[in-house]
Amino acid sequence: MTSSQRVAVVTGSSTGNGYETSLTLARNGFLTYATMRSLNKGENIKSFTQKERLPLKTVQLDVTDDISVKNAIQSITAESSRIDVLVNNAGYALFGAFEDLSMEEIKAQYETNLFGVIRVTQAVLPIMRKQKSGTIVNISSGAGRLGFPIQSAYVSTKFAIEGLSESMAYELEPFGIKVVLVEPGFIKTNIANNMVTAKKSQDANSPYSQLTGNIVSFIEHGLETGSAPDVVANVVLNAVTTENPSMRYLAGKDVEKLMEAKRSMSDEEFHKMVEQNIIK
């Protein structure tokens, strides 16, 4: 590490957006700590690191575990003395109609997607505040700006991240810390493999089974035809290398079109559009 080298920490880096973001930051000179719950899933990123001689290290970090988060951040700061960028990326999608979701399933969704962001950010903030600089990038979603059927738990965690980020921005600005939201649309990642379907929603007798099937098919098609993960990675890179980044960045043509439709329609018009084009 050189005295001028910026340090980045990325959660959920074993695959998908976190994987691509870690590699992109490292390729652009950041000393990057690619964190993940299981280091056994880090072989691919280690291979690129060795092949390209990247300034990238893998660190075990489970965002749902207080001790894991504390140990990881302490280890990183002991080695690098600073953290300039935090990318909160770890998360997964829970599918199921609201009535079909158990309280345990909802809590697990929040534990990773929301409380995980809170844990890691609170661990990093004293470091950034002491150095009077830093950028926190929270990977939200287009679903953080609008409701979507069969994803009430996932969508509500992303809505919460949006409100959390906006509120934090006021508090952290005096300390030179910036807060950024990145809102991807459909991205070709393995999120489909990590999707969790609520137990009751898997029952063909659920009153919402047909709706669930329609939405899952729509999402699977969207992921197949979505943007490449480097779209998100490049948006993150742009945000953390810009002196005065925007609060929000959309990532993907599909989410750009969707947000334009949302802005141009009344709530009733948008609701009808979703029913006609997505729920069918």
d(CA 142, CA 121): 22
Given 154, 170, 208, 249, which residue is catalytic? 154
Sheet arrangement for strand 31-36: 56-60, 31-36, 7-10, 85-88, 134-139, 177-184, 248-251
Q: How far does the chain reach from its first CA to its final CA, in angstroms?
A: 55
d(CA 138, CA 135): 10
Tell me the β-bridge partners of 8: 32, 85
252 neighbors 244 (Cβ within 8 angstroms): no
Question: Helix 115-131 crosses helix 103-113 at what angle (to 10 degrees)?
Answer: 20
196 neighbors 100 (Cβ within 8 angstroms): no
Alpha helices in the chain (DSSP H): 16-27, 43-52, 66-80, 103-113, 115-131, 152-172, 191-194, 209-224, 230-240, 253-264, 267-274
Token duo for residue 63: 């965002």
Coil, helix or strand at residue 74: helix
d(CA 42, CA 271): 41
Q: Is 154 a catalytic residue?
A: yes
| Catalytic positions, written as ranges | 154
